């Protein structure tokens, strides 16, 4: 929504995101601020050589950036399991291939003000590749992913990201029906693996790009 107050919101969010960037750096992550998705996109396209292979995690943020189309157009080999031609039989192999790419692009369910990166997965490929996958991992997140602490981050991961994703993938869970997480025990529960990256793991190269926009769930 455009309004004459947007600049105030953006300015306040910038200050907040720049604080989180300092917190992430103290946790040994590389971190950078972007005013908008367009400038983040430009940087990504410059950072990733056009002959490198790119794996993409299950991430609405990355799709909203529209970077996949641009990478493919200029010749990067992009592997991701949301392609319509992926079948039940090829799904696991594709997810594994994502983890062998040169670059892995994903988002996070929540990032705390202290620099913790929180995710909840149903399968675990995304968090596995983030922690010990490709040589270069880039986590891209909008201002909506910022939370005060770990408890709020886990709550956000289930009550916002989990609930909306359950609806998106069309599973039979209480949240997909009602829009509310009840920490269910449904056979189709999608919240199965919780990770908290408190510091950059040794032997990894993880960069966090924080964008002053609402992106993903």
Toward ligand SF4, which CB reaches closer, 26 or 192? 192
Q: Tell whether residue 162 is a contact of ligand SF4 (CB under 6 A).
A: yes
Candidates 65, 175, 208, 215; binder of ligand SF4 (CB under 6 A) is 175
Query: According to the binding rule CB under 6 A, does residue 118 interact with ligand SF4?
Result: no
Phi-psi label, residue 28: left if phi above 0, alpha if psi -120 to 50, beta otherwise: left
Q: Is 126 in the site for ligand SF4 (CB under 6 A)?
A: no
Question: In angstroms, rounded to a whole number, what is the distance separating the alpha carbons of residues 29 and 186?
Answer: 36
What values do phi and psi take at 19, rounded to 5? -65, -40
Among 20, 21, 141, 181, binds ligand SF4 (CB under 6 A): 181
Site string for ligand SF4, 3-32 (x = CB under 6 A): ------------------------------
Q: Binding to ligand SF4 by residue 108, rule CB under 6 A?
A: no
Binder to ligand SF4 among 81, 95, 126, 158 (CB under 6 A)? Answer: 158
Contacts of 42 (CB under 8 A, 6+ apart): none
Burial status of residue 3 (CB atoms within 10 A of its CB: 0-12, 13-18, 19 or more):
exposed
191 counts as binding ligand SF4 under rule CB under 6 A: yes
- Would you count residue 166 as binding ligand SF4 (CB under 6 A)? yes
Site for ligand SF4 (CB under 6 A): which residue of 23, 60, 184, 193? 184
The span of 24-32, 69-77, 108-116, 186-194 binding ligand SF4 (CB under 6 A) equals 186-194
User: β-strand 53-56 against 30-34: which pairing, if any?
Assistant: unpaired
Task: Give the number of other Cβ atoms within 10 Å of residue 64's Cβ.
Answer: 16
Beta strands in 89-191 (DSSP E): 103-106, 110-112, 117-121, 136-142, 146-147
**Is residue 154 close enough to count as binding ligand SF4 by CB under 6 A?**
no
Does position 55 interact with ligand SF4 (CB under 6 A)? The reply is no
Stretch that binds ligand SF4, among 26-34, 99-107, 167-175, 193-201 (CB under 6 A): 167-175
Token match 């396209």: residue?
45
Strands laid side by side in the 117-121 sheet: 146-147, 110-112, 117-121, 193-197
* Shortest spacing between CB 192 and ligand SF4, in angstroms: 9
DSSP for residue 119: E
Query: Applying CB under 6 A, which residues contact ligand SF4?
Result: 158, 162-163, 166, 173-175, 181-184, 186, 189-191
């Amino acid at each position: 929504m455009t309004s004459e107050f947007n600049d105030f919101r953006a300015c306040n969010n910038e200050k907040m995101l720049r604080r989180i960037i300092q917190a992430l750096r103290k946790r040994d992550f590389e971190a950078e601020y972007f005013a908008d998705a367009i400038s983040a996109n430009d940087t990504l396209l410059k950072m990733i050589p056009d002959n490198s292979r790119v794996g993409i995690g299950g991430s609405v943020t990355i799709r909203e950036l529209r970077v996949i189309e641009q990478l493919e157009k200029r010749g990067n080999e992009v592997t991701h399991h949301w392609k319509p031609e992926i079948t039940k039989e090829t799904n696991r192999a594709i997810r594994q291939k994502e983890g062998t790419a040169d670059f892995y692009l994903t988002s996070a369910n929540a990032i705390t003000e202290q620099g913790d990166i929180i995710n909840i997965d149903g399968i675990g490929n995304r968090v596995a590749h983030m922690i010990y996958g490709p040589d270069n991992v880039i986590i891209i997140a909008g201002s909506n992913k910022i939370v005060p602490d770990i408890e709020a981050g886990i709550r956000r991961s289930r009550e916002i990201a989990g609930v909306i994703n359950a609806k998106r993938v069309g599973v039979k869970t209480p949240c997909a029906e009602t829009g509310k997480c009840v920490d269910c025990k449904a056979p189709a529960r999608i919240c199965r693996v919780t990770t908290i990256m408190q510091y950059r793991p040794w032997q990894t190269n993880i960069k966090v790009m924080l964008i002053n926009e609402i992106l993903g769930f």
